[in-house]
Structure 1
Amino acid sequence: MCCFFIPTAEAAVLTLTSTALSKSRNRKVQVLRKHLNGLSKLLFGGSLLLALEHIWHGEITFHFPYITAMQTPEDTEVMIEELWQVGVPMAVLVTLTYLAYAGLKSFFTSETADRLSDDRAANLGKGGFMILVLFMLIGGLISTIGYIKDKNGRFCFSALCYMFYGSMLMWSVDLYTGIKEEGTEALAMTAEDVVDDLLLTASVTGLAVLVWSIVIAWKALVSGRLTAVRA
């Protein structure tokens, strides 16, 4: 019952704090802002997926009172209790996970990386396209299997196929261009790059799944309306 309100509220506070600190030129403040923005995006992204799930199950509606748990005082009391028992732990878990990620990233970041030449620094992380291409290919193959088995097209696996294969082809061009211009140095990656690119891959996959879910929900809605009209 709207347990994602707490993570969303935390994300909003972090975003406002980051905005308030945007005028500072202090390097440490800018590093703090970077982490605040990263954590807020993680919270907003997760909350968005949870909101979609709540809409799917009818816990959030598009008519007053918009939240089904607010229809009676008893349900509202249960909702408030769930906010503290589920929403707060959600926010804490996401925060701790990001802090762990930030700590690992800091640990693997070499101090000498800051002293690399601009050309060398520009090369770092380009191998991440290889990671993206590989995982998009895997996602595309899994989606293709689902598409073949879903003979009625109920689950719209074609949408996933388009997203995964399309992005794979585009990132393949980036990867090819990097290798063509810089040789194998374009594939140079530090441990920090690997962590960043895996997180990026997870985010891209999550976004694809989100869009896919919206497509399924929209198709079900349209199909329901057509059935009602024919009846």
Structure 2
Amino acid sequence: MYGIDIRRHALGLLGEGLSLNSVSRQTGISRSALRAWQDRIDPLPRLNQAAPCSGPADPVAYAYLLGLYLGDGCISGHPRGGHHLRIACADAWPGLIEQCRVAVLAVRPTDKVYVLQRPGCVAVTAYGRHWTCLFPQHGPGRKHERRIVLEGWQQEIVEAHPWEFVRGLIHSDGCRSDNRTTRIVAGVRRDYVYPRYFFTNRSSDITGLLTTTLDRLGVEWKRANACNVSIARRASVALMDAHVGPKH
């Protein structure tokens, strides 16, 4: 996952007196990896090369999990080989936590999945040797600071199961909420409440993946600003309700 030059640069920062936390924040590299490199800088053999990845076991579940990963997921290496996939889910949505856990199991039935409690959220976590194959968008640093482009086989899955992909994105970085507005009708002030879907992500690539898929599905959307996509047209909200629905 990390070349020798990146490892030397990170260790050089530690050698200058920076703490593990500081170097981790600056480079996007986990503290566990930094500690491991202090004992061995050379990369370990990639175990998943010995057993080539055959792809996701369940493409439908993968389309949903891909959306969750692009929103709230990350992959980190393990000092002894393999990788951890982690999807952060808020405590407020127990149904979402369970859907995420089921999707991870469906994509990789042989990998163990467990839920780790964190302040205000849980991390649905799975250890395995193929997560970097299944999510080639992984890499150092934040997603919005680097290009996010789907591989051809991922695009084929998204095109075959677009609603699952949209549902994963909305369930990670989106919501269904009530929008309130006031209008003057015949001199009388009236309050209106209507539902809408909202998606917020700082990566223009990820928001672009969402809006391109929405266009294919006939869902009308607008950009509230550079980071926010709004779906408020009645017919489009009805489509989203039928295929996505609110988090629970």
Q: TM-score range by the shorter chain?
A: under 0.3
TM-score, normalised to structure 1's length?
0.22
Structure scoring higher RCO (CA < 8 A, sep ≥ 6) equals 1
Higher percent of residues as helix: 1
When Rg is computed on C-alpha atoms for both structures, the one with the higher figure is 1
